[in-house]
Structure formats: C-alpha cells, structure tokens
Structure 1
C-alpha cells in the first residue's frame, strides 16, 4: 500500500475556477491592438505560467512593440475587468474540498496567478478560508514548471513534499509538482486535455468528482 498523504495542494485556474477561457480572451483582445492573433500553437506554452512569464513569450513570439511588464499590466486590466459575474467554480470543486476537509486533510493552493487576482477569485468562489497555505506567483522567483511554488506550499503546510499530492490541469503544473517531490493527480479540462505531458502524473482523471474515490481506492487517504 502506498504511503498515505497528509495534504492536498491545488492549482487554481482550470482546476478550481473555470477561468482559462477568460484569460485567453483577454490576451486575444490585447494582441488585437496590433492586428495580431494568439496562435493556437502557443497555448501549450502558456497554460500554468505566471502572467509575466506568459507575457514574455507572447511579446517575443508575436513581435509586439512593448516590454513584457507593460503587456502583462495592460492585459491584466482587461482580464480583471472581465471577472465580475463570470467567475465559476469547476464542477465538483466545492464538494472535493469539503470531502478532503472532512477527512482531516491539510489543504494548500499553489498557483501562478498573482495575489490580487487570487484573493479576488477565492472570495468570489467562497473559498477564502479553505486553505491553510496559499502560494501565488508573487511569492516565488520562478514560476511553473519550476518547483518553487509547490516546495513553498509544502513548507507552509508543515508537511514534507512526499506526503503531499498536487491536483493539476496542465502539463507545466504537473512538471512543477513532480520536480518538487509531490505526487500528482492530473485533471485536464477542455483547454488542456489535448496537451502532451500528463504521463508524469500518478494518474489522469476525468473530473474532480473522481479524485476522492481514486485516493481511497489506492489507500492514499483513509
């Protein structure tokens, strides 16, 4: 039997909140200022990254006449303006969090999102008090796929990485969790399911409602 876990660390976008379509729409609106389109071939490099890191990629690949920090700031204004009334939890998110808390799991969040956005979304979702540790993209020197955010989340939870499991929707996030020494469940969504790189996860599940049964059947939680 595998060693039981003591903590679960969630990604945010695409795992707990259905935000990726809004994020892509904000980027598309931004690059249209220069009569550009966001190429579909670029998306695998963007999902899971911090805003500033995604901005660097987009500015370079599309040849935009702005600095990455300016692009990030202006795109962020478009994105945040689109959130009111449009923030939706992913199916099964609240039920999974409730079920894990009932089983005594310590819960953390390790997201590439910046602190202002993360705080706003957690309040909108009714999850402001759900996590014992929250790590945002502002808290680390390197964003995903670097392991920094997951290492910091485990440290703040007071649990060894080996006793934590991450829940991710994108290959870059899976890579970050595994590099940090966490186990990982991948739950791809409509935007990420076609991407390569999920083989590094311990399992790939069709939805959040399958997570608890899988953990129980594999002896990872009581």
Structure 2
C-alpha cells in the first residue's frame, strides 16, 4: 500500500515556468547569448546550478556560476513577487488536502532552490501538508540523475516500494524510475515537449487521483 507521495513542484503543484522563463531569457539577453528553444527545453528538471554550469561551458561564459545563479534568482524573485495571477494548478490543492487527511505522507522533491520553494509554499500555505522539502540545489547532479528521489524516499515513513512520485517532465520521470520508484506522469499544459512514456501511469488532471486510488497504485 502506498504510504508516501513525493511531489515535484514546477508544473505539478504550481506553474512558475513562465516566471523562470522570463528570468532566464532576460539574463540570456544580458549575457548576449542565444539559447534555442530546444536547448531551453532540455533544461527542464535541471537545477539552476546545473543549467548555468552547462551554459558556462557551452558559451564560454566568464562569469562565475554562483554569480549567474544569484542574478537569475534576483530577476525571478522580483517577477514572482509582482505576478498576481500565479495560482496552484487545477485540482492539486484538493488532492494534497485529501492525501494529508487520509494519513498519506507528502514529501516535496523539486529542482527549485530552497528560496523559491519557500516563496511558493508560503504564498499558498503548503508548509503544514509536507513533512519534508528536498531541493535540487543540494545535489551535484540534477534529474534525470536519481539522487534527489533516492534521498526523498529515504525520508519516507515506508520503504520506497510504498512510495510514488508525481512528475511532469521527461527528466523527472527518468529520475524517478532510475531511483526504482513508481512514477505517475502528469501531462501538464505548462510543460512543453515532455515525454512521459516511461511513467508507470499517466494522468491528465488531478481529479483522476484521490487518497483511496493512490493507496492501491503499483
């Protein structure tokens, strides 16, 4: 029986992708580099650090990775704080509340920084539902490397065989499967060109899940 649900954040709980996109492309313009759509899409599931490590190598950037990260976060935070129409994805709050009320442990495992996660969780009052928050900034390699999900599963009240991951990205699904965890692929309208075929099951809306259905998955 499933006892723990591990959530991704961007594209699963909230759509901060337009804010990230704005911040990244504003910075790309400042750096005078041309990042193609295909390259940008390939970064889905990457931490900010891994994204800039890749870009620094690709474009021979002079700036230190840490400085690039701080500049992007500054642009993102300013945009996030002024974006009034930012909302949780449809149906996800009801699912989170239902899982929590039925004794299922919730863990967040997101490539986002701790600062960004805290901003989202504070804005939408999510802290009380999740027992642990795991940020990709604490791992040297991003999804599809399984480290973030392996660590999240280690925090579970149950063996990983009794955990599931909800993911919306190709890299996220690969990471969950590499960690040996049952993966629900969420077809998010906000995550473009993602291949979820490797997921164990695929949903198009969170109303397809509830605590009783989750408990018998896998």
Do these two structures clear the TM 0.5 threshold for a shared fold by scoring above it?
A: yes
Structure 1: unaligned runs, 5 residues or longer:
none
- Show CA shifts across 1:53-108 (max 9, x none): 01122333344432322212211110111111424211111111011122221111
Q: TM-score under structure 2 normalisation? A: 0.90
CA distance in structure 2 between the aligned counterparts of 1:120 and 1:33, rounded to whole angstroms: 25
Which is further off, 18-27 or 50-59?
50-59
CA distance in structure 2 between the aligned counterparts of 1:6 and 1:217, rounded to whole angstroms: 9
CA distance in structure 2 between the aligned counterparts of 1:62 and 1:189, rounded to whole angstroms: 31
Structure 2: unaligned runs, 5 residues or longer:
none
Please state whether the residue corresponding to 2:63 is helix, strand or coil.
Answer: coil
Q: TM-score under structure 1 normalisation? A: 0.88
Q: 1:28 touches 1:37 (CA, 8 Å); kept in 2?
A: no
Partner of 1:200: 198
Q: CA deviation at 1:130?
A: 1.2
Q: 1:166 touches 1:182 (CA, 8 Å); kept in 2?
A: yes
CA distance in structure 1 between the aligned counterparts of 2:207 and 2:123, rounded to whole angstroms: 21
Aligned residues: 216
CA distance in structure 1 between the aligned counterparts of 2:147 and 2:214, rounded to whole angstroms: 30
Q: CA deviation at 1:182?
A: 0.9
CA distance in structure 1 between the aligned counterparts of 2:215 and 2:162, rounded to whole angstroms: 15
Match status 1:31 vs 2:28: yes
Distance 1:64 1:140, change over 3 A: closer
Please state whether the residue corresponding to 1:83 is helix, strand or coil.
Answer: helix
